[in-house]
Structure 1
Amino acid sequence: MHLQKRILVTGGAGFLGSHLCERLVEEGHDVLCLDNFFTGTKRNIEHLITKPNFEMIRHDLVQPIFLEVDEIYNLACPASPVHYQYNPVKTVKTCIMGAIHMLGLAKRVNAKILQASTSEVYGDPVVHPQKESYWGNVNPIGLRSCYDEGKRCAETLFFDYHRQNRVNIRVVRIFNTYGPRMHPNDGRVVSNFIVQALTGQDMTVFGDGSQTRSFCYVDDLIEGMIRMMGAPDEFIGPVNLGNPGEFTILELAETIIRMTGSTSNIVFKPLPKDDPMQRKPDIALATEKLQWTPRVNLEDGLKRTISYFKAMIE
């Protein structure tokens, strides 16, 4: 049995946050789930509400909050282009004010804190696959900058709080993750394709479909985050977490059509601005330091995700 800790998960009602809360509750920790329900939903955590070691707090991280906790997982931020571009100023505020408020809390109560950063800090990478030492190729004034630069600045704050105030930090850079509880309208490729395939709509591929992505199943990602939180204090990251299996968008569309038995047609649309052509994590560091590698292959993960969306649509 693990030592019981009091753990705060910001963005805890979101896709990743709800899976993390569930895992921490199962491990017997006292879990505080904080969310303002901008993209998170109560449906994601309703099965946890009755648990004695789970608490829900409705709060917006742009405002400070005072709590007593041992560990903080800072996941609060809309993470899909549809949502983070809806109110870009709010996205930047959530990234930066949220980081400042959570780091201030960690400093005050001497808590360990993990930042959920993103592969988006690499922008449209000219280095492939992406190693943690790569500084990225990011447009600071584009439509995606509110998220990319917001997350980059959050990493800056984490390292400065660590150097200046000795806050015990961890930084993980998350690559495309998918699984049950993804938001059906978040514009991400896996949820988009599955919903389109199940409802018989045309499947929209941007560009010619030759751009690549690496898809990590949610359970694998949560395992990586928990291992990073438990890593020795001298290993603070940043560390890439993602599945290095690389697929073209067209391959993904064809796989989902086959797995759902869909009659959908694939249609091609122009590529959005600043959309990266290649995304693939180099996970050598995570493998070495955390003994972590993803276990769930794309077909198995898609099977579980498809059945979740099926139940939701019916």
Structure 2
Amino acid sequence: MEDIKSLVDPRILAKSIDDINYPFSILVNDTSQMEKKTGLTLKKIEEVKMKVASYVLISKFITTADQILPWKRISTGCKAIDSTLTGGIPINGITEIFGCSGVGKTQFCLQLCLQVQLLAIDGKEKGAIYICTEDPFPSKRFHQLSTRFKEKHNVITDFEKNVYINHVADFEQLRRCLYVHAPNLLQTKDIGLIIIDSIAGAFRSENVDVNYTSRGRELCEIACKLNNLSDKYQVAIVCINQVTEDVQQGKTEPCLGLAWSNNVNYRCQISRFNDRPTREFEVIFGPDLPCRKCTFEIREDGLFSLED
């Protein structure tokens, strides 16, 4: 296909294009302003815009719904949860998993760290970055799970060597991790998953008078960086979140409020009732998922559907 720049008058290229949004900037620029800047006639500018519009359509800068490919996903290793998520955790934006303490959120993430290594993505087995903001990484439990996975799948992979752990205590440390440490790893290692356990832990404040405006900006910055890493390196992003009590409505809800909720692509909840071993996994929202739920249980060797 002929390059678009060979079709456009050089005076328009020099004076009217925003390189960041090119070639769309030609289409959205005001015709009369382009006339003043370039000295071209209105007829000539309209001809250029028609050429650019045709180029944009033919080169698929704009796509129809049936041309959009489904997002790749990482299997959770649990048939019921995979079915609920139509294949697993999507490699697209931020997936939030929230729930009360002890329901199995960290267990879910540990199994994901194994699954991303076990299953090939783009023909490669991937590692994981695990960012802890509260408790130390549960290395004993992860060792137990990795040993069972080796036996179950008859592999010799050293799962523990492919999980890169970083402990952070606050926003500044998390920010440095995402801007410096994580990109360095992503450039040198095959990474398919980034986990933050938990996102609320990095924003906990002992100060009663929290500056919510400042915290909102920080949350947006972190979310923006996570989305950038996901898009650039094709990695799945999973953020564990704590819950807080809504006294007026008498129910629990994820921490960090709308400032965080508006940056989440997928929100899922893990629940446990009356100390029963059975857990419930529920999709609260997602761009390509219906709101539905399933049940599963956590055994010594991982997460499983009840019928397994």
Which structure would you say has the larger Rg?
2
What is the TM-score of this pair, normalised by structure 2? 0.37
What is the TM-score of this pair, normalised by structure 1? 0.36
Higher strand share: 2
If asked which structure has higher relative contact order (CA below 8 Å, sep 6+), I would say: 2
